[in-house]
Amino acid sequence: MSSTPTSSTPATANPATPETGTARVKRGMAEQLKGGVIMDVVTPEQARIAEDAGAVAVMALERVPADIRKDGGVARMSDPDMIDGIIEAVSIPVMAKSRIGHLVEAQVLQALGVDYIDESEVLTPADEVNHTDKWSFTTPFVCGATNLGEALRRISEGAAMIRSKGEAGTGNVVEAVRHMRRIRGEIGRLRGLDNHELYAAAKELRAPYELVREVAELGKLPVVLFSAGGVATPADAALMRQLGAEGVFVGSGIFKSGDPAKRAAAVVKATTFYDDPKVIADVSRGLGEAMVGINLDTLPDGERYASRGW
């Protein structure tokens, strides 16, 4: 299942010399982000606004998904200078996106020293068959998924964190809800199966049996599960957490809104107090205009990012 067996399962030994890039260190990094908000930023100034608002990490990219949609064309990894500038500007972790299957973009991002690589459907896929072998990297990866089978295939390739795909750049949370409910629902169904049925379930999910059994035992993914794609308001973020997301990515929703600093801080607070409607009401006041959303039935199939990857 893994090309580098040393990192396929958390180490149990007590190494005398420090070991980097282990599964425990990669997955453990995502555990530290739980309960937090990861924000898309395109400039060092935006990165500082995100950090000041309490973001747990920033995603450095050249254009937010809403602009990628508007501009069209091929969307690629960001300029290294731009990523360096953002790494320089903040002390919180910095993530960046590579195209699906573009292992060289991923190698470049690792060389730049980003803290997490998002092998992302928001960029134009570079390979229509294969995702990147993520075990072969020291830098951990997060990948999108629309259902449990897809999440487990990404984990078998070495992803150390999963996010629902949603539909990025739309400001419409409906797809994020669909994917989160589906993933959680499929996990719930596995819990009810006996040992004999898990083999058939693995076949149905097109996922490795060992991972399917692990999920059935744990009642959750073996890695952290965030939500992404369409979160635009504090209530959206809290909704995703109530549906089982351990944290949220906010893309275009912050810096395409009227008052980014205030909205960013409000989304952070609503993510922590996701189950307290009074707090969510308080932080939702006077935020100015939310990003203009897109109704998904007006979106042509070719412009649905969630269908990229498999």
In the complex, which residues of this chain contact other proteins (CB under 8 A)? 11, 14-22, 24-25, 28-29, 31-36, 51-57, 91-93, 110, 113-116, 138-140, 265, 268-269, 272-273
Supply the minimum distance, in Å, between the C-beta of residue 307 and other proteins.
30
Helices 148-156 and 209-218: crossing angle, nearest 10°?
120
Apex 65 CA angle, 245 and 274, nearest 5 = 25
For 280, the token pair is 């969510």
Question: Do residues 250 and 169 make contact, with C-beta atoms less than 8 angstroms apart?
Answer: no
Supply the minimum distance, in Å, between the C-beta of residue 36 and other proteins.
5
Closest to other proteins by CB, 54 or 85: 54
> Which residues have C-beta within 8 Å of that of residue 1, sequence separation ≥ 6?
8, 156, 208, 210
Closest to other proteins by CB, 52 or 128: 52
Long-range contacts of 5-12 (CB under 8 A, 24+ apart): 7/135, 7/158, 8/135
Out of 97, 134, 165, 269, pick the active-site residue: 97
For 256, the token pair is 């395409």
Dmax (CA) for the chain in angstroms is: 58
The CA distance from 261 to 52, in Å, is 8
Whether 220 is catalytic is: no
Using only C-alpha atoms, the chain has a radius of gyration, in whole angstroms, of 19
> Which residues have C-beta within 8 Å of that of residue 89, sequence separation ≥ 6?
44, 45, 47, 48
Closest to other proteins by CB, 34 or 189: 34
The CA distance from 49 to 265, in Å, is 9
Apex 195 CA angle, 190 and 200, nearest 5 = 65
- The set of catalytic residues is 97
